[in-house]
Copies of this chain bind each other. A is one copy, B any other.
Amino acid sequence: MDIQYFKDLLHERALKATNSRLNLLTTMLAYKSAMPYSAIQESMKSVDRVTLYRTLESLKQSGIIHKAYQENNETYYAICGKKCGHQQHSHDHIHFKCLKCELVTCEQTTTDIKISIPEFVINTTSIYLEGICKLCKD
């Protein structure tokens, strides 16, 4: 993933490859884990907050980023995988918040998770876990 990848991605989704969007995406990529809004705001403080709001909205709508986690009025955003498209998010990972390092990451589970409720139709499943991550465990 580099700038050109993001430019192409944006064009695919009929979005202009503007500085705000490219800056946001490269910042989020560099951050590695899901990025809290406050951190996004900090690194994007050169752009107007309305622009940031609309940037997040457009990227979310287009399936380029997603809300990974939300707690205590702090929202965490992460970059989507390739399966996501316009109005069509599809994540096969779960979101994990480490209580020690406080990072939120997208993780793959080893086994397929099948949750069912009798007589209910389930379209989408979102799973959030809290605990201690691999790196903090030692």
Contacts and interface: CB of A to CB of B under 8 A. Distances in A.
A124 interface: yes
Contacts of A129: 115, 117, 120, 122-126
Interface in A115-133: 115-133
Contacts of A113: 113, 115
- State the number of copies, please: 2
A78 to B, nearest CB: 16
A99 interface: yes
A126 B128 contact: yes
A126 B70 CA distance: 12
Interface of A: 70, 94, 96, 99, 107-111, 113, 115-134, 137
Nearest to A116: B110
In this complex, which of A115, A134, A137 has the most chain B Cβ atoms within 10 angstroms of its Cβ?
Answer: A115
Contact of A119 (B115, B116, B124, B137): B137
Contacts of A110: 116-118
Contact of A121 (B70, B125, B131): B131
Nearest to A122: B131
| Nearest 3 pairs of A and B residues by beta carbon | A121-B132, A122-B131, A119-B134
A18 to B, nearest CB: 25
Nearest to A136: B121
Contacts of A109: 115-117
